[in-house]
Every structure is written in structure tokens, then in C-alpha cells.
Amino acid sequence: MKKIVACLKKEKNQIIIFMFLIFISILLLNIFTPLIADDYGYSFGVNGRLHSFIDVIEKQVQHYFTWGGRSVAHTIAQTFLLFPKILFSIANSCVYLLLIWLIYLNIKGINKKEYPIILLLIHLCLWFVVPAFGQDCLWLIGSCNYLWTTTIILLFLYLFRTSKRNDNLFKSIGFLLLGIIAGWTNENTAFGLIVATVGILLISKFEYKEKITKWKISGLVGTIVGFVILIIAPGNYVRNSLVNDNTFIVVKLIGRILNDTVSMINVLKPLFILMIVLFTIYIYYKKKIDKYFYVFFSASILSVYAMVLSPTFPERAWFGIVVFMVISVFNLLINILSMKKVIKYILVDSVIILFIIYVEQFIVAFGEIRQLNSVWSYRSEYIERQKSKKIYDIKLTPFVCNDKHSPAYGLADITPGKDIWLNKDLARYFEVNSIDAK
């Protein structure tokens, strides 16, 4: 027994246990998540069903000019749609675990000390704070657009921040290419990436008096180039033209700024409260705030207001914003854990309380996701039975999810009208004449 206790006290073992628990929990949810909403439409290329990676590339070229510039995200998504869903479920769970680890590394920076409890707290924070957790971390198309792209961005930022200063052509080219990929991911989060990259450069130059190397310049240039490629996609303007809003531009922008500010306070409220408490502790103990707090805080806030230029601000678009803010606030947190033992005890107690609440919410979410899986399994079987009877006009019962941790939360489902986009995508996917709601 003493050996087990001694083993559990080791920080590396605690990290392994926490990461394993996180992986298993997210894998369970992923495995029971079926294809939903846009997944069916994206299963097609230019000339019918996707059959090869060439089909994916052809579709993404068309997509860039007709719908949007998120070529990196949708290339990943459509590539997975070539294979059985279980492959994505496993890969997506691994990427979620990688995201947790990269958030942790970006919080620590060059700090060599380990904080196992912070890993679990990161997962709990995403679970409770992200407004559309299921859309961002479970839904295939949504995960590739938000979870995967944010992971790419954090990988770039961590390497950019911690790589050694030695300069060479290979390194410059590598950071240029990775920067382009990271910048070509997701509009508001990629803007936050550029803000964070500039912030890291400024700290490197003025705080640590380091020379600005060629690879750092190429990395920054890469993020900007990728972002420009993303933004200037002709498809963005085609899609935006479908939104009819004749409001005077100044009034429109002011309205969006006010709405986004209110939404930001609502979404980030728990993190803002924690930040105020931590600021109070810093002021009381006269402790200096780490400069990287400001970098990720600025990236988070400016990512919010980058959405002012967008006619819509879906809940799933808050994912990268929340991640940046978690890094910012937790950077404050780890720097005071060594000050007083009581702070660490309070943190452990808080995590235990949050974990108990998490377990209850996880069980509820798992139940709803299993029900969602059953609904889609029944729909597939029912459609095949109808087809065997030569019935090709199908009517199905709509299904609504109310839990934000469900991948179907807030997404379109079958609605009355054969010409509704999702109904048409489903009819095409299942090879029937039409699908409509009962």
C-alpha cells in the first residue's frame, strides 16, 4: 500500500493518470457521436461521393472559391470522411489530449516544474466554460474547424516561444510553412495567433534582449500570409452576400461591438472572476505578473472583436477565445502556487468539487449522446428498410439536443420541407428521392 501511495505522489505518474482519465472520457463521447448535420454534405466532392484524397483537394479548391477559405480545417475533415467514423473518434480524442497538453505547455513556458492538477483543471475548465463543447470537440466538421485548428495554433506558438535561438535556413522554412498552416485555420483564432506571435516577439526583444532571428521573422510572416489566404477567399464574400442586412455600417459595427462585449462577459465570466481573485493575491504579495499573461489575454480579447467584421458569431467560435483566456489566467495561477501551501490546498479542494460536478454532467451528456447515436442508427436502418420496399420519399422524426456537451446541440436537424439544405444532403447521402420531417 505504501508503495502505491508513494507511486501516486510522483508528479509524472499523476500526469499519466490524469491524461489517461481525460482521454478515456473524451474517447467514450467520441465513439458514440454519429455523423450529423454538415458531415453528410461534406461527404461529397465535386463529382459525387468522396473516394480519394484527390477528390478532397478538388472539392477544397471549389470550396475556396464558392463558400469559404478554411481549407486546412475542411481538408482534414473531408479526409476523415473517406474512412470509417471510428478512425476519427480515436484521432479526435488524441488531438483533444494534445490540445490539453499544449495549453499546459503554453501556460508553463520554460518553467521546468510540473503541475499535474493544472492538467485536470484545464479539461474541467473547457468542459464548463466552452459554450458549445460538443460542437467543438465531438462533431466531426466542428472539431476539425475548432479543436484541430486551435491545436495547430498552440503548437506553433509553443515552438515559436521555446525554440532555441540558433538560425538556419531549414528552421526558417519550417516556421514559415507551419505559420502559413496555422494562420490559414480559423478567422478569429488566427487573428489571435498573430497578436500572440507579435507579443512573443516583443517580449523576446525588449524583456530578454534577444536578437530577432530570421526564423522568428519567417514564422510571423507565415502566420500573416496564411491569415490573408484565409480572409481573401472569394467564397467568404459569396457566403456573406447571402446575409441580408442593410443597416448603416457604423450602426451595424457599434451594435456588433456591444453584443460581442455582452457575450464575452457571459462566456468568460468564470475566468474573469478567477482572474480578479488572482490579481488581488498578486497585489497583496507584491508579485510581478508574467508578461505572457498579457500576450494571451490580448489574443483572447482581440479574437472576440475580430468577429465584429462577421455577420454571425456562432457559439462554437468561442472555443479558441476560451483557450487563449485559459492560458492567460492559468499563467497567473501557476506562478502563485509555490507562494503559500494554503493556495495549493484551496486549488485541490476546488478541483475536487468541480470534478464531482463534472462526473454528474458527464453522465448526463453521455446518456444524451448515446440517445443521439441510437436515433441516427434507427434512421439509417429505417431508410434502408423503406428502400427495400421501393419507397424513396422518406419521413423522419426530428430530434433535439439540449445539452451543450452533445455534438448536436444547436445544430440543424431534419425540419419540414424537402428543399431544406440538410434534408437534401441526407437524401443525397442515403440515395433516396427526398427526406422530410414527420
406, amino acid identity: S
Partners of 73 in the β-ladder: none
pLDDT tens digit at each of 438 positions of the chain: 666 666 666 778 888 999 999 999 999 999 999 999 999 999 999 988 999 999 999 999 999 999 888 999 999 999 999 999 999 999 999 999 999 999 999 998 877 788 889 999 999 999 999 999 999 999 999 999 999 999 999 999 999 998 877 778 888 999 999 999 999 999 889 999 999 999 999 998 888 778 888 999 999 999 999 999 999 988 887 776 666 666 777 887 888 899 899 999 999 999 999 999 999 988 888 888 889 999 999 999 999 998 888 777 889 999 999 999 999 999 999 888 877 778 888 888 999 999 999 999 999 999 999 999 999 999 999 999 999 999 989 999 999 888 999 999 989 889 998 889 999 999 999 999 999 988
Write out the H or E segment, with its range, that includes residue 393.
strand 393-396
CA neighbor of 32 nearest in space, from 102, 86, 93: 86
Q: How far is CA 243 from the centre of its chain?
A: 25
pTM: 0.92
d(CA 151, CA 146): 8
**By CB neighbour count within 10 A (0-12 exposed, 13-18 middle, 19+ buried), where does 380 fall?**
middle
Cα atoms in the 13 Å half-sphere on the side-chain side of 3: 0
Cell readout for 343 is 493556495
Write out the H or E segment, with its range, that includes residue 45.
strand 44-45
Residue 359 sits at the vertex; the CA angle it makes with 356 and 362, to the nearest 5 degrees, is 150
